[in-house]
Structure 1
Amino acid sequence: MSVHLENVCKTFRLQGASKTIAHNITLDIPQGRSIALLGRNGTGKSSLLQMIAGAIQPDSGEIVSQGSVSWPVGFQGSFHRDLTGAQNAKFLARVYGVETRELLDFVADFAELGAHFHQPVRTYSSGMRSRLGFACSMGIHFDVYLVDEVTAVGDAAFKRKSEALFMNRLQSSGALFVSHSMPSIRRVCDAGAVLENGRLQFFDDVEEAINRHERNMLVR
């Protein structure tokens, strides 16, 4: 099970200006590997995750998924704002074909939302929405997880709990992991890919990827 990107290109155009976030990107995300996706703010990391998830279409190239791929965990547009957290979880259970009661029980316990679980998502804080999204995604066993900064949410105990669960899922799944926390990346990831000026460079060693990213950050 894996995700394969082949010559993927994407340019956004707004008010006469254009920004290329993907230029002939080719990448494999095999099951069982966690790849750090590194890059400056605004390089297009979140957009790349949304392309892999199918929420944004590339201008050209191909993205082929063999197995199930999560939505971008941490992406705030994942839920219907007028439904409660519980109703959103029920909807996801139906979409992904998992047992509804099982997912509801898992999310209610893990997300620690209390009575808010039965309130509309539009009343949630950003952190609450992220915790709901993380719990829903971890409650569904995907072959590849797309994770965008979500383990940074919550207090220290919740962060530890989230990271431990994520590491457990990685025993049988692959991941593309976006984070600005190098300690988190070192704990979670075993490889890295650096996005710069629309080009993605893969490193089999996560330390090499971090070193390249940090050198890029020194160049204005």
Structure 2
Amino acid sequence: MTGRQSTILAPNDDAIVVRDLVKEFHTDIGVRRVLNGISFRVGRGERLAVLGRNGAGKSTLIQILSGVQVATSGTIDRGLTMSWPLALSGGFQGELTGFDNVRFIARIYDVPFKETYEFVSDFSEIGRQLHTPFKYYSNGMRMRLAFALSLAIDFECFLIDEVILVGDHRFQEKCHREIFEKRADRAMILAIHDGTIVRERCTAALVMKDGKGKVFTDLVAAVNTYATL
């Protein structure tokens, strides 16, 4: 399985283009190559599923795309503004209230605070808890706040690492509508295990094994290949 497609992936101002991405870690038993020549392109309105078993390199890829880690080699052309991974709450300040965290993020991304807060408050459905310190939130509340704030910023490409459904069934349907229907014109990169979502919602899939990857446009073939890994 190979992901080397750099010869056909030219820079594009309207897409995320990844070429020959390599990530190595130095360990006590030598160098471990976690990503080995990953290449793909995601344009506006396209949704790329990232499939692979545990240890395939999916999370490392998502972390590099989000800027949490740095690649050993290869390039990423970010022709679209990219979100942090949806529902990622690690960047929030625990001593600040949800309200103050929203205000801080709105200032960083230079978006109107009032409209951002109103969206987050309505979508997260955590009520008065927005005015209590974030460190006292349950995991579910943290994910709802992070998910809502991710959607409140007008990103052109959404990065999703496993978690796209938060809360009860009603809230999960709400998340689906916001992501897949109201933002159908946005690009998305989804590290995911659900074959149904891949077949019904995605336009291509990157199937990964042992750090290598292959891009499929035939989604049934991609899911079947993933099932045999």
Q: Give the TM-score normalised by structure 1.
A: 0.91
Alpha-carbon deviation of 1:184?
2.9
Q: Tell me whether 1:45 sits opposite 2:58 in the alignment.
A: yes
Q: Is the 8 A contact 1:108 1:114 kept in 2?
A: yes
The separation in 1 between residues aligned to 2:98 and 2:31, in whole angstroms, is 37
Q: Which runs of 5+ in 2 are unaligned?
A: 1-13
**For residues 88 and 15 of structure 1, do their structure 2 counterparts lie closer, same or farther at Cα, with a shift above 3 Å needed?**
farther
Query: What are the Cα deviations for residues 133-164 of structure 1, in whole angstroms up to 9, with x where unaligned?
Result: 11111111211100122222210000000001
Alpha-carbon deviation of 1:47?
2.0
Q: Is the 8 A contact 2:86 2:164 kept in 1?
A: no
Q: Which runs of 5+ in 1 are unaligned?
A: none
Alpha-carbon deviation of 1:181?
2.2
Match of residue 197 from structure 1 = 210
Richer in helix (by share): 1
Across the aligned residues of Structure 1 and Structure 2, the Cα RMSD in angstroms comes to: 1.7
Query: What are the Cα deviations for residues 85-135 of structure 1, in whole angstroms up to 9, with x where unaligned?
Result: 222211221122211110101001101112222222222222222211111
SS at match of 1:73: coil
Which structure 1 residue ranges, 4+ long, deviate > 3 Å from structure 2?
13-19
SS at match of 2:171: helix
The separation in 1 between residues aligned to 2:218 and 2:97, in whole angstroms, is 42
Q: Tell me whether 1:28 sits opposite 2:22 in the alignment.
A: no
Structure showing greater Rg: 2
Q: Is the 8 A contact 2:87 2:150 kept in 1?
A: no
Q: How does 1:8-87 map to 2 (within 5 A)?
A: 8-16=21-29, 18-87=31-100
Q: Tell me whether 1:207 sits opposite 2:215 in the alignment.
A: no
- The amino acid that maps onto 1:63 is I
- The amino acid that maps onto 2:202 is C
Identity of aligned residues (%): 34
Work out which of the residue numbers 161, 167, 170 in structure 1 matches 2:174: 161
Match of residue 123 from structure 2 = 110
Alpha-carbon deviation of 1:189?
1.4
**For residues 9 and 87 of structure 1, do their structure 2 counterparts lie closer, same or farther at Cα, with a shift above 3 Å needed?**
same
The separation in 2 between residues aligned to 1:10 and 1:136, in whole angstroms, is 30
**For residues 7 and 160 of structure 1, do their structure 2 counterparts lie closer, same or farther at Cα, with a shift above 3 Å needed?**
same
Q: Give the TM-score normalised by structure 2.
A: 0.87
Q: Is the 8 A contact 1:33 1:170 kept in 2?
A: no
- The amino acid that maps onto 1:213 is Y
Alpha-carbon deviation of 1:172?
1.7
SS at match of 2:83: strand
The separation in 1 between residues aligned to 2:81 and 2:182, in whole angstroms, is 13
